[in-house]
């Protein structure tokens, strides 16, 4: 059985927003994607993630790492 691969780029149009924080434009998750990530983290903690949800959580986590890096780069240029 193949598990569908979730690509972080699938959230580019509806999972990402730019927020002004201390005069910096930083990348953030939309409330919807943030809530989905929390839901998946809770299910993981309860050991009830499906393989598809695990793949989705991994993709969201990868996107979170990318945002953290980009936002740190933006902040360091101030």
Domain coordinates in residue numbering, the chain: 8-76
pLDDT number for residue 7: 80
Q: Give the pLDDT means over successive 10-residue stretches in the chain (78 positions).
A: 73 89 94 96 96 93 94 93
pLDDT number for residue 68: 96
Contacts of 13 (CB under 8 A, 6+ apart): none
Using CA of residue 54, residue 49, residue 10, residue 67, what is the dihedral sign? negative
Biggest alpha carbon–alpha carbon distance for the chain: 49
pLDDT number for residue 1: 57
**Bridge partner residues of 18 (DSSP):** 27
pTM: 0.85
Distance CA 45, CA 39 (A): 10
pLDDT number for residue 11: 81
């Amino acid at each position: 059985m193949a598990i569908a691969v979730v690509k972080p780029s699938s959230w580019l149009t509806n999972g990402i927003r730019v927020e002004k924080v201390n005069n910096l434009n930083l990348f953030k998750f939309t409330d919807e994607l943030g809530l989905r990530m929390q839901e998946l983290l809770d299910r993981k903690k309860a050991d009830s993630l499906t393989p598809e949800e695990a793949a989705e959580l991994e993709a969201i986590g990868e996107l979170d790492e990318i945002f953290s890096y980009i936002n740190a780069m933006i902040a360091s240029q101030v």
